C-alpha cells in the first residue's frame, strides 16, 4: 500500500513537471514565432512618360486641368500599353508588380528567358540585387530581399502625381500589412526617378490625410525636379532617410517650369531649406544631397543616365575625359540606379563617422583593377570614405547585359521618340 502511494505521488509529480515543461515550451515557441523576420523591400517608381507630349494640351497641362478625354491623356494611355517602353528602363505595367524571386535566381544564373532579359526592369533590378548580395556577403549580414515596380501613366501633371502618390500610399499600407501577417518586418526603400521622386514625396501628404502606422526607411531620389512644395515633404516623419542624387550635367532636373505652381525646380534639397541645421535638431533623421560625378567630371551624367539603358553620352567632338570614358565603358549599357546599394552602404558608414554632413560628392572611379565610389565633402573635396571594389561583379553584370539585353542598336532612343510622335499623331486624327 505504501509503495502504491509513493508511485501515485511520483506519477502526479511527473505529470505536473511535464505540464510545466509543455507550458514553457509552448510559450517559448510563441515568442519565437512572434519575433518578426527583417526583410528589405525595394520599390522602383519611374518618371514622366514622354513629357514633350504635354504640348498636345499645353494650357490644360499648365493649369493642372487634364481629363481622360484630352489628347495628351489619351496618347499617354496608348503609349503606356506599348511594350517598347519596358525595354530600355525600369518600367512595367501600371500598379505594383513584384519581381519574382525565381526570376532573380535565373538572373543570378544568367538564364533569364529572352522575354524577360530584354526588359530593362529585370536586367537593372537583377544587377541591383547582385550588388546587394555582394555587399551583404562582405559584411556577413544576410537579410531577405523583395523587389517591386510601381507604375503609373506618367502624365506631366502635379495633380496626377498627387493622385498617384495616394495610390502608392494605400498600396504601401496593404503591402506592409501583408508582410506583417507573414511574420516579416518590412524595411522599405522607395527609389524614384525624375518626377517619380516627387510622387514618393507626396506620399507624406497622403499619410497626413490618412494616418497609418507605417514608415519608409529610405527614399532615393534620382534626378528629381525638386519643388518648393515637395522638398519640404522630405522633412516629414514618415521618411527616416532621404537621399537626393543629382548631377550638374542634368539639364532636365532644374528645367521643369511647366508642371509646378512655382514655375521653378531645383537640384538640391538645400536650395530650399537648411538641411544641415534641420538634421541637427532631428536625431535619427538623415537628409543628403549627393552630387554624382565621374572622377572629377561634374558634367558626366545626364538625366537619362540614372534610369535608362545606353545613356552615357560622349562629349561634343568626343572630348570626354579619359577617366569619364573609363566609367562609361565599365557600366554601359546599364543605368546608374544599379549602384544604389553601394551608395546606401557608404552613407550608413558616413553617418556614423561624420554626423550632420548633408552635402556630399559621390565620385565614381573606374581603373584597371578598381570600380567604386569615393565620398567627398562637397565643400572642401576632402575624401571621407572609399567604397568596396565591385569591379568583378559589375564586369559580370555588364557582360550578361551586353549579351542578353538587345532590344535596339545604340540609336534606339530616336526609335522611342518616333513611336511617341507617331502615337501622338494617331491620337490627333482619331
Task: Give the gyration radius of the chain's Cα atoms.
Answer: 25
Tens of pLDDT, residues 257-270? 666 666 678 889 99
Residues 6+ apart with CB under 8 A from 299: 247, 248, 249, 315
Tens of pLDDT, residues 122-145? 999 999 999 999 998 877 777 899
Distance between CA atoms of residues 127 and 141, nearest Å: 19
Tens of pLDDT, residues 35-53? 889 999 999 999 999 887 8
- The pTM (predicted TM-score) of the whole model is 0.88
Distance between CA atoms of residues 223 and 220, nearest Å: 10
DSSP β-bridge partners for residue 37 = 184
At residue 71, the pLDDT reads 80
At residue 68, the pLDDT reads 77
| Region 220-241 average pLDDT | 94
Tens of pLDDT, residues 338-376? 999 999 999 988 876 677 789 999 999 999 899 999 999
Whether 101 contacts 146, CB under 8 Å = yes
Q: Which three cell numbers stand for residue 304?
A: 537619362
At residue 411, the pLDDT reads 47
> Shortest CA distance to 320 belongs to which of 294, 344, 342, 340?
294
b/e string for 223-239 if b means 16 or more Cβ within 10 A?
bbbbbbbbbebbbbebb
Amino acid at each position: 500500500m505504501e509503495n502504491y502511494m509513493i508511485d501515485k505521488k511520483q506519477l502526479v509529480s511527473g505529470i505536473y513537471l511535464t505540464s510545466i515543461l509543455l507550458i514553457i515550451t509552448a510559450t517559448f515557441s510563441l515568442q519565437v514565432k512572434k519575433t518578426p523576420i527583417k526583410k528589405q523591400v525595394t520599390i522602383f517608381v519611374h518618371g514622366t512618360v514622354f513629357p514633350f507630349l504635354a504640348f498636345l494640351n499645353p494650357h490644360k497641362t499648365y493649369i493642372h486641368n487634364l481629363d481622360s478625354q484630352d489628347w495628351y491623356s489619351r496618347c499617354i494611355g496608348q503609349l503606356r500599353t506599348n511594350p517598347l517602353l519596358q525595354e530600355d528602363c525600369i518600367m512595367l505595367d501600371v500598379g505594383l508588380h513584384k519581381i519574382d524571386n525565381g526570376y532573380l535566381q535565373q538572373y543570378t544564373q544568367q538564364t533569364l528567358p529572352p522575354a524577360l532579359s530584354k526588359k530593362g526592369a529585370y536586367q537593372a533590378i537583377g544587377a541591383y540585387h547582385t550588388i546587394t548580395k555582394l555587399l551583404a556577403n562582405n559584411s556577413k549580414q544576410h537579410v531577405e530581399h523583395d523587389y517591386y515596380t510601381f507604375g503609373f501613366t506618367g502624365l506631366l501633371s502635379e495633380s496626377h502625381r498627387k493622385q498617384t502618390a495616394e495610390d502608392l500610399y494605400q498600396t504601401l499600407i496593404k503591402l506592409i500589412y501583408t508582410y506583417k501577417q507573414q511574420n516579416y518586418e518590412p524595411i522599405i526603400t522607395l527609389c524614384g526617378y525624375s518626377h517619380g521622386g516627387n510622387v514618393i514625396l507626396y506620399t507624406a501628404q497622403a499619410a497626413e490625410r490618412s494616418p497609418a502606422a507605417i514608415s519608409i526607411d529610405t527614399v532615393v531620389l534620382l534626378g528629381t525636379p525638386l519643388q518648393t512644395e515637395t522638398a519640404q515633404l522630405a522633412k516629414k516623419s514618415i521618411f527616416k532617410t532621404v537621399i537626393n542624387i543629382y548631377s550638374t550635367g542634368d539639364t532636365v532636373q532644374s528645367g521643369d517650369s511647366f508642371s509646378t505652381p512655382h514655375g521653378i525646380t531645383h537640384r538640391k534639397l538645400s536650395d530650399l531649406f537648411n538641411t544641415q541645421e534641420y538634421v541637427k535638431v532631428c536625431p535619427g533623421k538623415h537628409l543628403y544631397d549627393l552630387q554624382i560625378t565621374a572622377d572629377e567630371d561634374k558634367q558626366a551624367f545626364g538625366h537619362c543616365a540614372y534610369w535608362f539603358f545606353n545613356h552615357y553620352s560622349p562629349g561634343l567632338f568626343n572630348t570626354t575625359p579619359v577617366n569619364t570614358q573609363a566609367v562609361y565603358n565599365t557600366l554601359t549599357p546599364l543605368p546608374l540606379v544599379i549602384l544604389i546599394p553601394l551608395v546606401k552602404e557608404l552613407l550608413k558608414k558616413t553617418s556614423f563617422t561624420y554626423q550632420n554632413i548633408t552635402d556630399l560628392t559621390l565620385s565614381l572611379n573606374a581603373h584597371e583593377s578598381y570600380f567604386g565610389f569615393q565620398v567627398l565633402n562637397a565643400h572642401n573635396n576632402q575624401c571621407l570614405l572609399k567604397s568596396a571594389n565591385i569591379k568583378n561583379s559589375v564586369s559580370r553584370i555588364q557582360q550578361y547585359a551586353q549579351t542578353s539585353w538587345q532590344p535596339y542598336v545604340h540609336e534606339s532612343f530616336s526609335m522611342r521618340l518616333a513611336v511617341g510622335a507617331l502615337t501622338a499623331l494617331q491620337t490627333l486624327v482619331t
